[in-house]
Structure 1
């Protein structure tokens, strides 16, 4: 099973840069797109439709302010939209596809990079989502959360980590939150199961210098329940596949989806 996760920063712009041509070559079983900024009916039209996939979308109340989508080759047993808290559901920040023994969620956090109000919303969302994750661990099934978290976890996930410690994305409360998820809550960072390679970034500031010097951070993850740890076979963040400020997170699993 191959899962591709990508924050598209608006699917219209990403499509114009060739996103869907690229996706059609990847043979992914599941595709998770964050920050689509379109309505569900719009996403069902060309060029966003991919033959051979079931497609589901949870749009924001104001479509230009978020939204997430899942494409899957296998028809899911159920689709769940939202997290039942306001900061998630108003902005279309979560959609989940349920299969036989695994659920795959597509998650978009506030970036926290647009002033104090946005940062406070991010911290509130992180707190609410921690409670949600804690409850999900009690369920007798596996979960994969494909998340654009706008938070880097470790020093090797940030190019110039010393300079970033006081900036949203690598602040102490954000790193502590990641420690909680991958520590006390027991979730697994899929990419770090197969590589400790540094400079595997998924987001870069919008500047020529950031690109040329690879001044990036790893903001995008596939987060697993521990029962899936041994099924991760390969992970990559291809820099040459760039359709937004983010790069795709591509994870291969020794797992077959079924209903």
Structure 2
């Protein structure tokens, strides 16, 4: 019964100080996909690389203190792939893939467009090149779970203040339509929503105001999976007892 977790750390060193790796020792996960390492290879201690006997594989951004993804697994992967073949975004450390038998687990960190119009254009470019990659991935015929911070809230239920955010990055009509294409055209599955279709679960809260205290959040962290393994998901939870980041870990258990 694999347990797969997605967690945006907002800095692996910061999350470590807040107890993330202590929690990891207690949570009994088979795969943990992390995003926003904000670290280079030289910054990675033994505890970050191989915590509690996990195997770790990582994609570091070229820019210091920026982005980065990784996959922790109990078993060593049969194969790994760092980057998805687009130079612009591979330089930003946004994609780590590990294969285990017929199962592929991917950690992805999609760009945010909220900091500037230039970054929103970069986000649109990412969406344009990532969709065909997802088509190729599905065509491999493997069971795939893509975990990560997608930086898009898909539907109105996925953020508290949806009415006032319709012109803001993360809830733009073009972004939401792109997510719909993943599910309706490519046949991928939003696993969280299949298990908990009506839950107002959020995974990210702004540091402004009292968003966390008032639970004014967004659901932008997902497990996006092929239908076979998605159908085997049976329990979903967002871990909020401790705060390691401005995101909360998304935990989904699957029957295999």
Tell me the TM-score range normalised by the shorter chain: over 0.9
User: C-alpha separation between the residues in 1 aligned to 2:173 and 2:95?
Assistant: 25
Greater than 4 Å deviation, 4+ residue runs: none
Cα gap change, 1:47 to 1:124, in 2 (>3 Å): closer
* Corresponding residue of 1:235: 236
User: C-alpha separation between the residues in 1 aligned to 2:69 and 2:220?
Assistant: 16
User: C-alpha separation between the residues in 2 aligned to 1:87 and 1:102?
Assistant: 27
Cα gap change, 1:102 to 1:47, in 2 (>3 Å): closer
How far off is 1:230 after superposition? Answer: 1.8
User: C-alpha separation between the residues in 2 aligned to 1:230 and 1:52?
Assistant: 30
User: C-alpha separation between the residues in 2 aligned to 1:175 and 1:192?
Assistant: 15
* Corresponding residue of 1:125: 126
How far off is 1:212 after superposition? Answer: 2.1
* Corresponding residue of 1:30: 31
CA contact (8 A) 1:151 1:175 kept: yes
User: C-alpha separation between the residues in 1 aligned to 2:88 and 2:205?
Assistant: 25
How far off is 1:137 after superposition? Answer: 1.6
* Corresponding residue of 1:196: 197
Question: Can you list the C-alpha shifts for 1:38-76, whole angstroms capped at 9, x where unaligned?
Answer: 123432433664122111111111231211111100111
User: C-alpha separation between the residues in 2 aligned to 1:81 and 1:120?
Assistant: 24
Cα gap change, 1:56 to 1:227, in 2 (>3 Å): same
DSSP-derived class of the 1:128 partner: helix
Q: Superposition pairs for residues 1-259 of structure 1, below 5 Å?
A: 1-46=2-47, 49-255=50-256
Question: Can you list the C-alpha shifts for 1:213-259, whole angstroms capped at 9, x where unaligned?
Answer: 2111101000001121221011111222321111101010112xxxx
CA contact (8 A) 1:149 1:220 kept: yes
Normalising by structure 1, we get a TM-score of 0.95
DSSP-derived class of the 2:210 partner: helix
Normalising by structure 2, we get a TM-score of 0.96
CA contact (8 A) 1:15 1:48 kept: no
DSSP-derived class of the 1:55 partner: strand
Of 4-13 and 57-66, the range deviating more from structure 2: 57-66
User: C-alpha separation between the residues in 1 aligned to 2:231 and 2:48?
Assistant: 36
**Over aligned residues, Cα RMSD in angstroms?**
1.3
How far off is 1:195 after superposition? Answer: 0.8
May I ask how many residue pairs the two structures share in their alignment? 255
